[in-house]
Amino acid sequence: MKKFSKVVPAIIILCIVGALFGGNGKSKDEPPKEIPRDTVMVASNDFKPTRPIIVVEKETENDKVLSKLEVHYIDVGQGDATLIKCGNEAMIVDGGNESKGTAIQLYLKKQNIKSLKYVVATHPDADHVGGLDVVIYKFDCGQILIPNCESNTSSFHQLQQSMKAKGYTPHVVDVGEKYTLGDAKIEILSPSAEFTFSDTNDSSIVFRLDHGNNSFLFTGDVTIPPQQALIYDPDLDIDVDVLKVPHHGAATAYIKGFYDEVSPKYAVISCGKGNRYGHPRKEVLNDLKGRGTKLFRTDEQGTIVALSDGKSIVFSSEPSETWLPGDSAVADSSGNTIETPTTKGFQHNLSEAPKAGVTYVYNSNTKKFHRPNCSSVTDIKPTNRVDLTCTREELLAAYPSAKPCKRCNP
Ligand SMILES: [Zn+2]
Ligand SMILES: [Zn+2]
């Protein structure tokens, strides 16, 4: 009752005020006051309007005109580097190996990039972070995102040096974190900030990028364990339109279940022409071919650009039709990638790719030794891996318990 007695006089006063001043003192032609976009005005029964009521309906996500999204899978030979632009904002994901830093700098300059909102170093391997130090030195960088992964690689050390020089503190990402780039949305799917993988590749930052109805998945070099986690976590959605194929299409990073879950309409493989690892492997290519995925490859097509308006995706080149797997034997015998050894000796090489001249790779954990092009080599934990430039006899003299790998028969 008390409430009612207060409300009634208030309504009466409002009605009088409305009748007295509604529309008074203003010319008919004067436009109505600007109404906030999201405001919805509703006519009430007991208040007669003197001005037209404007009902602004909230725009739905599908109707909204989005600023265009560009994803540039830059050809950096054997490695990864992706530039993503949306509206006035840009980010880079990895920067190829050390020799590609300047080429990436020039590419960004040509694209009119002045600053990068995010720099993502998916994992510390040389073919991913090698060129990023140049990018950090040359551009204003908002946030630098790294995974929870300790590494002694020289490339990672250089990356840290560049951040220190510019006064940047990197942010260690965590599953579920969300970021925005123009009208695009980013969600971190892996790794967790608390959990560490024994393999550097598995620490790779995996994220999805959503732009209207279009979606992209970035996977770094994750092999099977993180992929399984992604498949079975009900909170993580990896069903996207464009898949950046994990680990350059390596067989050690292939499980059918992952591709079933992603069911990509398009796939992009970033790898070097005639690379010594034999990327991409036929298992991956057969899978993609079998499900009708349109494939793009930097080793065949150079830099590939995907353009999204939020509804459809257009690529800068026609899909690859060769379905040609990499052949490590051909790559090695051609002499293009492995030079004749000039210096002999033992060195700890903690980067992903054995350097030219390396004759054997020894795993101090399993005590096995491999040919440098063996597919197992990239899976050896950096701290366990010793790259050798020596004869077989010298190797066995230095590591008497070493056993040859059964896969590559060194
Ligand atoms: Zn890689
Ligand atoms: Zn890697």
pLDDT digits (tens, 9 = 90+) for 205-251: 999 999 999 999 999 999 999 999 999 999 999 999 999 999 999 99
CA of 340 to the centre of ligand 1 (A): 24
Same domain, 249 and 381: no
Same domain, 327 and 371: no
pLDDT for 375 equals 83
Q: DSSP letter for 55, please.
A: B
- Which ligand minimizes its atom distance to the CA of 277? 1
CA of 280 to the centre of ligand 1 (A): 12
Same domain, 185 and 236: yes
Q: Is residue 250 in a domain?
A: yes
CA of 248 to the centre of ligand 2 (A): 9
pLDDT digits (tens, 9 = 90+) for 248-299: 999 999 999 999 999 999 999 999 999 999 999 999 999 999 999 999 999 9
Buried b (16+ CB within 10 A) or exposed e, 376-394: bbbbbebeebbbbbbeeeb
Q: Is residue 28 in a domain?
A: no
pLDDT for 70 equals 98
CB 175 within 8 A of CB 188: yes
Calculate ∠ Cα 326-348-121, nearest 5°: 60
Assigned token pair, 88: 């006035």
Domain containing residue 90: CATH number:
3.60.15.10
CA of 221 to the centre of ligand 2 (A): 5
CB 251 within 8 A of CB 280: no
3-state secondary structure of 393: helix
CA of 228 to the centre of ligand 1 (A): 19
CA of 79 to the centre of ligand 1 (A): 5
CA of 377 to the centre of ligand 1 (A): 12
CA of 247 to the centre of ligand 1 (A): 5
- Cα–Cα distance measured from residue 321 to residue 127, given in angstroms and rounded to the nearest whole number: 26
- Which ligand minimizes its atom distance to the CA of 223? 2
Domain residue limits at 386: 360-404
Report the number of distinct structural domains present in the chain: 2
Query: Picking from 37-46, 187-196, 390-399, which range would have the lowest pLDDT averaged per residue?
Result: 37-46
- Cα–Cα distance measured from residue 304 to residue 302, given in angstroms and rounded to the nearest whole number: 6
pLDDT digits (tens, 9 = 90+) for 314-325: 999 999 999 999
Same domain, 264 and 370: no
- Which ligand minimizes its atom distance to the CA of 78? 1
CA of 152 to the centre of ligand 1 (A): 16
| Distances in whole angstroms, Cα of residue 399 to Cα of each of 143, 207, 302, 364, 367 | 44, 41, 42, 9, 8
CA of 219 to the centre of ligand 1 (A): 10
pTM: 0.68
Same domain, 229 and 284: yes
